A and B are shown apart, each in its own frame.
Chain A
Amino acid sequence: MGARVTHPTKVLIVDDGDRYVELLHALLRDLRYATRCTLPGPCWECPHRVGCELTHAHDWAEAREVLARDSSVDAVLLDVRFELPEQRLLGSADEPLEERQRLQGLRILDAIRHLRPDVPVVLMTSEEAIGLERAAPLAADEYVTLAGDDAFDAQSLASLVSRLVARRRRYDDDDSYVWGQSKAMRALRHGVITRIRTGLPLLVLGETGTGKSALAERVIHAQSSRRAGPFVGVDLAALPDTLVASELFGSVKGAFSGAVDRPGRFEQAHGGTLFLDEIGNLPADAQRMLLLALQDGRVTRLGDTRPRDVDVRLVAATHVDLERRVREGSFRADLYARLNPAMAFELPALRERRADLRELCEALVRRRFAEGTNHDRLAAYQKAVGIGGPVLATFAVGKEDPPAEGVAFVFTEESWKRMRAHPWPGNMRELEYFLASASLMTLETDLDAAEQGRASLLGARLPVSASLVSQLLERSWVAPDAEGSSPLASGAIEPRAQLKEVVRDLETALFERLFEETDGDFEAMAARLLEGDPAENARRVRLRFNQLGLRVRELRR
């Protein structure tokens, strides 16, 4: 994705009358207006403007029509009272007509939330007018604002709208997390943003690789009131059961063999957010201790008697069915309740948000070359072929124009088609590694050519070969099943002449996956594979790793 182009804010006005619309059109000409008319140009320059009924939406049916057609609406200005005949109102016919008219805007708000949950809505009313009981839930919604006295003060209203839109664009422009535009993610974003403000514990569900940890750190923590405090993440799946308690709660010297005085992750997260990934893996003892910590807001280090106050927001994540674990008795019901399951949300699998694939590819390629060794290699390439300006990489497909700055990794139309059809069982993580492999291998090949004086053939477009893409996609990702009990999917198996070759393929895939999940920590890999002392077993794991032909340097790239 290249530089974003900022455009004037576009608002949709939903009002049963037209006077207010005329007023805004007259006073706020810096705004653009979503209308039911498809003619170009602003309404005030239109020869048909007098008496025109297409300048805004008068009811939900018309609002839906505009919102469905125009994805560039930045904000909705919504009246609350709609003096319309019954057949044009949302809501039950059992409700008195006067009440339906008086609060029709709230019905329309609900409908907008379902259709376009990401669009800020300004309700042109005050709390008093709609009643405190109905206003309270709206106050907790990040995307709904009551205009109150600002409703008819055009400058105040314009200022309010630009603040809301700027806030939304901050979310959109934040490169650290790619929301995308798929329906699933738009709905999720709305849910997440509204839940962040509550300060309550949050439970994030989703398949492995969907980005639960990134969401916790880059969105939930980063946009909460605790963002100035620490974010501490703990992957419980990577910790041996015996170490979980001391890792979370700390220890004092002598608590157990080799114990030293040190704070646990709870204390480290004081004032901030504690993220417990794969909480379904929490051993029974640690479940009890976690429950006490959440109940009391205090933790006691192992071997100590003095409880210490901790103020953390807990965000937990899992890919397993915790409810089922509770029913089976392997996860405490009281702890499950403390995780606030009523407010849980689920990150969709990548296959359920294919509409975001392009945007994700663009962001991931850009990020991959933004810093470090990869950035340096790209800089070397740009220098070798004479591309000045900023060092940056973009993602392109087919015959798209060369980038204005930096270089583009260009995938063929056929490759793009294959990527869109691919099931991505490893989700975001699989996509990330696929793109890293494809772009880095392409860059290294072309940099080599450039350094050998064959730079004349090269330029700002770096074609990614279709055969490389096929090869990478066919090398199936190893996806766990829903409960994580089977680490290897049958889709990972390719027919071989001999069974031992198949077994070796699976073993290689398993080692690659563990390497990636543990960030190349052989002790952690050993802890996942073998019983006994991880330090001792790490040597065995490293030996087997080498026997399989795997190389640390290659996997780290």
Chain B
Amino acid sequence: MSVDRERVLHDVGKYVARTAMNLPEGALVAPALAELMLRDVYGRGDEPRMSETFDALVGETDDPVLGECRDCLQEIDALEGDARAGDVDALTRIATLARSISERLKAWARA
């Protein structure tokens, strides 16, 4: 499957960290922003989760950068329960992972 880099960068790279990139590293996530950040990564209602969007665009891949991004997204999915319960560590970790995905994809798309 050929990967549409522009689309991956736009639909995942930008949107996954839409809220997270506005949060300083390690800072507490305010409740209003937490709600927005969780929506960025888990979707709302029938919206796809970011990991699902990523899988649909990337499919099977040997690309190491995309592999790292997939790992990060899986970790984000695993944190959902704690994050929705308001666990501060889970929320700050999600923000860090989201920013990391965004940075990796930017570098990947421009390589």
Contact = CB atoms under 8 A, between A and B. Distances in A.
Q: Do A and B come from one complex?
A: yes
Interface of A: 19-20, 22-23, 26-27, 81, 128-129, 149, 151-155
Most buried by B among A151, A152, A154, A155: A152
Given A81-B10, A129-B10, A155 B39 contact: no
A153 B36 CA distance: 14
Interface string B64-107: 00000000000000000000000000000000000000000010
B21 interface: yes
Nearest to B17: A152
A27 B10 CA distance: 21
A152 B16 CA distance: 11
Contacts of A81: 10
Contacts of A154: 22
Interface in B5-59: 6, 9-10, 14-15, 17-19, 21-22, 32-33, 36, 39-40
Nearest to A124: B14
B53 to A, nearest CB: 13
Contacts of B109: 128
A23 B6 contact: no
B77 to A, nearest CB: 19
Contacts of B9: 129
A26 B18 contact: no
Nearest to B6: A129
Determine the main DSSP class of B at the interface with A: helix
Closest 6 CB pairs of A and B: A154-B22, A152-B18, A26-B32, A27-B22, A152-B21, A23-B36
A259 B36 CA distance: 79
Given A26-B32, A26-B33, A20 B10 contact: no
Nearest to A80: B10
Given A128-B6, A129-B6, A23 B14 contact: no
Contact of A23 (B19, B106, B110): B19
Given A23-B36, A81-B10, 9 more contacts: A19-B40, A22-B36, A23-B18, A23-B19, A23-B22, A129-B6, A151-B14, A152-B18, A154-B22
Contacts of A23: 18-19, 22, 36
A549 to B, nearest CB: 74
A19 B6 contact: no
Determine the main DSSP class of A at the interface with B: helix
Interface residues of B, number: 18
Nearest to A155: B22
Contacts, number: 34
Given A19-B39, A19-B40, A26-B36, A153 B6 contact: no
13 contacts: A19-B15, A19-B39, A26-B33, A27-B22, A27-B33, A128-B109, A128-B110, A129-B6, A129-B9, A149-B106, A152-B14, A154-B22, A155-B22
B33 A20 contact: no
Interface of B: 6, 9-10, 14-15, 17-19, 21-22, 32-33, 36, 39-40, 106, 109-110
Contact of B18 (A20, A128, A129, A155): A20
Nearest to A27: B22
A129 B17 CA distance: 18
Contacts of B32: 26
A124 B80 CA distance: 29
A459 B39 CA distance: 64
Most buried by A among B19, B22, B33, B109: B22
Most buried by B among A19, A128, A129: A19
A45 to B, nearest CB: 13
B3 to A, nearest CB: 16
Nearest to B44: A19
Most buried by A among B9, B17, B33, B36: B36
Contacts of B21: 152-153
A397 B40 CA distance: 55
A154 B36 CA distance: 14
A404 B44 CA distance: 55
Contacts of B36: 19, 22-23, 26
Contacts of A22: 36
Contacts of A149: 106
A102 to B, nearest CB: 9
A148 to B, nearest CB: 11
Contacts of B106: 149
B71 to A, nearest CB: 23
A155 B10 CA distance: 20
Nearest to A152: B18
A301 to B, nearest CB: 55
A23 B16 CA distance: 13
A19 B106 CA distance: 21
Nearest to A81: B10
Contacts of B39: 19
Contacts of B33: 26-27
A81 B14 CA distance: 13
A26 B14 CA distance: 18
Contacts of B14: 151-152
A455 to B, nearest CB: 62
A152 B37 CA distance: 13
B45 to A, nearest CB: 10
A154 B22 CA distance: 6
